[in-house]
Amino acid sequence: MSIRLRLTAWYSGILAVMLLALSAAIYGFVYINTYGDIKDRLKAQSNQLQLKPTWNIDGTRKLTLVGFEGQNLYAQMYVYDVSKMIPSTNMEDLGFSFEIPKQDSLKNEQGFIRTSYEGNPFLMYQMAVNVSDDMATHPGVLQVAAYVGEQDRMMLNLKNILIVGSFATLIAAFTFGLFLARKAMSPIGKVIEAANGIQTGTDLSSRIVYDGPQDEIGRLIQTVNSMLGRMEGFYTELEDSYATQRRFVSDASHELRTPLTTIRGNIDLLQKVWEMDPAESRMTEAEIRQLSIESVKDIADESKRMSRLVADMLSLARADTGRTFDIEPVALEPMMTEVARRASFLPRQADWSVGDLSQLNGKYILGNKDYLQQMMFIFIDNAFKYTPAGEVTLDAVFYHNQVGIRIADTGIGMDKDEVPHIFDRFYRADESRGITEGIGLGLSIAKWIIDEHGGSVEVVTRQGEGTTFVIWLPLLFAPPLE
């Protein structure tokens, strides 16, 4: 059974109970007021009746009920021991009488009772009386009745009206309630459709359209739409993550394949040369020695390259897992002075120029010194690699509450279309492929370090003229406590 049908059934059941109680109350109120008035008249009339002796035309004596004033009322008295019936005048004129109860059961049959005569309904009040004459006192019964046919018909009509009206109201309420419940619960059907869409995975961008009031259903739909938005975002991020992972594995496999192939080729060559019989060899001992040295050097270079690749991949793996590092206030001047000093020993062909770093005196940032230095060396090393001739400079600038570490070179530069991709993993600009060594992970690591420090990087480049990187980091206003 659906929710709307259950709700309609519950409300219809409650309405049925209320209608039953209301109908019973109305019927009881009308019944008491209608028959209560008749009972009061019957009881009052029975207290007013008296026996009065009268004389017939033939000179015989008879008893007559006097004090009888009610309209549509009928009275009779019966004396048991003499079997004498004393009717009221109207009963005598009409020639009918009511059934007389037995004397021994009269005690239990006193009060108001229902009776009928020839199908006509009467409400009767009967009571035991004592009839006295000159000789003795005789037991009898007094019966006063009223015709209640009209009242019975009225109560029957009222009962039918209440029953039919209650059923009609109940049916109308059930039908209308079912319609309202279906209309009110129709947004739930949209929620179900959206949930089915999620289950089948066909479309997570769909949203439930609802223009009703912000009631419970409205808030539910709003919550479901928010949940769909978050799920779509998570699903998109997951797809991007899977795509990045697949690309990362593919690029890593490609980057590892080259050094492994070189190492394997050199090892095979050394094995072949040293296993060859000297008598059959066409190479002199000096040539074999020179070939071996070159092969070992190639193996060492490729091994170092693989070590750097694995180290960079581990750094990026830590970044992907959300791993953070410890941070503390870092003094900028001594850190940048140390970076400038150590950078002068890096392999390079360009001139190395360091600007005025004294302006960094007393300035602090919140970060990790080791990772910050690693990030600086990545940018400086890249500048050296891509500047075969010219100059690489390092200086600092300030803007509002940020410090900018500027690293500029006059190297090969790159096309502006390449800039959005230079921080992607394993990405290398077309101008650098085959010209400089590298695996395309350094800038990805540097970007991760910058992001973890709440900073940003600005790139200005022109092909053939050089590139300038400005690393913006937020300053720490209050100096650390000594």
pLDDT tens for each residue of 89-125: 778 778 888 888 888 777 777 789 898 888 889 999 9
Question: Which of 140, 155, 170 is the C-terminal boundary of a domain?
Answer: 155
162 contacts 26 by C-beta, under 8 angstroms? yes
Which residues span the domain enclosing 333? 324-476
DSSP 57: T
- Is residue 126 included in any domain, yes or no? yes
For 367-425, give the DSSP string: E-HHHHHHHHHHHHHHHHHT-SSSEEEEEEEEETTEEEEEEEE-S----GGGGGGTTST
CA distance 315 to 453: 16
Indicate the burial class of 142 (C-beta count within 10 angstroms; 0-12, 13-18, 19 or more). Answer: buried
Task: Check whether residue 211 and residue 308 sit in a common domain.
Answer: yes
CATH code for the domain in which residue 226 is found? 1.10.287.130
**CA–CA distance, 208 with 152 (Å, rounded to integer):** 61
Residues 135, 215 within the same domain: no
Name the domain boundary from 289, 321, 353: 321
Q: What confidence score (pLDDT) does residue 318 get?
A: 65
Q: Give yes or no for residue 372 having a pLDDT over 50.
A: yes
Last residue of a domain, one of 306, 321, 336: 321
The answer to the question of residue 241 being in a domain is yes
Both structure tokens of 20: 């039953």
Strand pairing class (328-331; 120-132): unpaired
438 and 375 within one domain: yes
177 belongs to a structural domain: no
CATH for 404: 3.30.565.10
Residue 173 lies in a domain: no
Mean pLDDT (the chain) is 81
Same domain, 259 and 132: no
Summarize the confidence of residues 248-256 as an average pLDDT: 66
Number of compact structural domains in the chain: 3
- Which tokens is 153 given? 């018909």
User: Do 305 and 364 belong to one domain?
Assistant: no
pLDDT tier at 246, thresholds 50, 70, 90: confident
Same domain? For 315 and 457 the reply is: no
Residues 10 and 147 in one domain: yes
Cβ 252 vs Cβ 313: under 8 Å: yes
3-state secondary structure string, 307-344? HHHHHHHHHHHHHHCCCCCCCEEEEHHHHHHHHHHHHC
Strand residue runs (E) in 133-247: 137-147
- Give phi and psi for 363, each to the nearest 5: -100, 140
**303 near 266, Cβ under 8 Å?**
no
Q: Select the highest-mean-pLDDT range: 291-300, 392-401, 439-448.
A: 392-401
Choose among 49, 113, 40, 55: nearest CA to 76: 49
Once rounded to an integer, what is the mean pLDDT over residues 36-50? 84
**Is pLDDT larger for residue 153 or for residue 94?**
153
pLDDT tens-digit map of 16-37: 899 999 999 999 999 999 899 8
Question: How far apart are alpha carbons 469 and 422 in whole angstroms?
Answer: 12
User: Tokens 């830590």 — which residue?
Assistant: 318
In terms of Cβ atoms closer than 10 Å to its own Cβ (0-12, 13-18, 19+), residue 178 is middle
Domain identity same for 263 and 222: yes
Statement to judge: residues 299 and 332 lie in one domain: no
Q: What is the mean pLDDT of residues 308-332?
A: 73
Query: Is the per-residue pLDDT at 152 higher than 80?
Result: yes
Instruction: Clarify whether residues 68 and 126 are in a common domain.
Output: yes
Same domain assignment for residues 210 and 315: yes
Q: For the chain, what percent of residues have pLDDT higher than 70?
A: 82
Question: Do 297 and 358 fall within a single domain?
Answer: no
Entry pTM: 0.47
Q: Residue 176 domain-assigned?
A: no
Q: What is the CATH number of the domain that holds 25?
A: 3.30.450
